[in-house]
Amino acid sequence: MIADILVAGLGPAGRALAHRATVAGLSVVAIDKNPKRAWTATYGAWLDELPPWLPGATIAARAPQPVAWGHRRHTIDRTYVVLDTPALQRHLSLGNATVVQGSIEQLDPGGTRLASGEHLRARLVVDARGIPRSPRSAEQTAYGVLVPAATARILLDGASALFMDWRAPRRSGGVTPSFLYAVPVGGGRWLLEETCLAGRPALGIGELRQRLHDRLAGRGIDLDGTEPTETVRFPLRPPRGFVPAGVLGFGARGGLGHPATGYSVAASMRAADAVAAAVLQRSDPARALHSWRSRAVSALRAKGLASLLALPPSEVAGFFDVFFELPPAQQRAYLSGREDLAGLTAAMTALFARVPSSTRARLARSVLTG
């Protein structure tokens, strides 16, 4: 039998698509090297980015109006959430899909060949295998520790969470900047994560660990080394032409990740129903997924990534001061949503007009040459 959809890769994107396709009544074959791998990453998102079908029980913690710091403090008028990763994985159940454990050797519009020699076929083949690392790709890196709420509170100055704190930790001047991300993760615990938003190469984990320790020590917090930790390293954009012709790219591999923030989990979950509906209606799933608007938004955001990479360390905090002073709708257009071309253009134009002239010149150069 030929399945309606074959989903290659069961990370958050592939699993969300496979799950929603079965909910829509489609027959699904889903393949992963290790389909039973328990996810451990801490996934955050803006509440308004999540798809309406995702139950509240998959949210571990909410932070209304989190704070961002450049040189100044900014309150963001949105609710940020941290997902309950095991609950999310459980909710995206694959009970009605045929799940195959195997390593995909070849993927084409007709189906796939696994390393075991097995062939699987489907009407629509989806490539959700994520993005492998490459020295040519900009990456995001981070190092975090889980601490009790009382410890985190020392850093928060009353904030519900710190989405980004670009104030420099001690001893990190003059090199690639990093910021502190401090969010509740449920159960009275907080994640404090020193993050390199984008770098080619990105800051190493050892450097980030040192900066986090320095930053916390500067606020009187000494870690004893027994705290659970999280390390983050992932490429921000797939190389061009990465998905085989005639196959639908989905998730990070399909360009659903935000090139300048690395966020993809909410956008992928939100896009799953459009693909399932297109298969059900026998319309073009690629069209359902990528309108001309979303392609333009993605191209502009890629310019945003080039601009970020071009900024000297001394200008980064000031850049984010200007960003977080934009009207909330423009911030949202830049950070979230894949279709709001008018909002994104307005945000980028306003940003360009308001940054200091030295930053403006650099941004212009990176946009023209990037």
Ligand X SMILES: Cc1cc2nc3c(=O)[nH]c(=O)nc-3n(C[C@H](O)[C@H](O)[C@H](O)COP(=O)(O)OP(=O)(O)OC[C@H]3O[C@@H](n4cnc5c(N)ncnc54)[C@H](O)[C@@H]3O)c2cc1C
List contacts with ligand X (CB under 6 A): 9-14, 31-34, 41-45, 103-104, 128-130, 230, 232, 234, 251-253, 257, 262-265, 268
* 300 vs 338: CA distance, rounded Å: 11
* 216 vs 170: CA distance, rounded Å: 9
- Comparing CB distances to ligand X, the nearer of 76 and 355 is 76
Q: For strand 162-165 and strand 179-186, is the pairing parallel, antiparallel, or unpaired?
A: antiparallel
Beta bridge partners of residue 81, listed in sequence order: 45, 62
Alpha helices in 157-261 (DSSP H): 205-218
* 38 vs 35: CA distance, rounded Å: 9
* 221 vs 243: CA distance, rounded Å: 46
- Comparing CB distances to ligand X, the nearer of 81 and 355 is 81
- Taking alpha carbons only, the member of 32, 87, 39, 37 closest to residue 59 is 87
What ranges make up the beta strands (E) of the chain?
Answer: 3-8, 28-32, 44-46, 59-64, 67-69, 73-75, 79-83, 98-101, 104-108, 111-114, 119-127, 139-148, 162-165, 179-186, 189-199, 229-235, 248-249
Q: How far is the CB of 235 from ligand X (least distance, A)?
A: 9
Q: How far is the CB of 234 from ligand X (least distance, A)?
A: 5
- Comparing CB distances to ligand X, the nearer of 173 and 228 is 228
- Comparing CB distances to ligand X, the nearer of 152 and 355 is 152
Q: How far is the CB of 264 from ligand X (least distance, A)?
A: 4
What lies within 8 Å, CB to CB, of 188 at 6+ separation is 148, 149
- Comparing CB distances to ligand X, the nearer of 251 and 318 is 251
- Comparing CB distances to ligand X, the nearer of 40 and 226 is 40
* 39 vs 32: CA distance, rounded Å: 13
- Comparing CB distances to ligand X, the nearer of 268 and 330 is 268
Q: How far is the CB of 205 from ligand X (least distance, A)?
A: 11
Q: How far is the CB of 11 from ligand X (least distance, A)?
A: 2
Give the pair of three-digit tokens for residue 160.
């519900």
* 300 vs 367: CA distance, rounded Å: 9
Q: How far is the CB of 231 from ligand X (least distance, A)?
A: 7
Q: How far is the CB of 364 from ligand X (least distance, A)?
A: 30
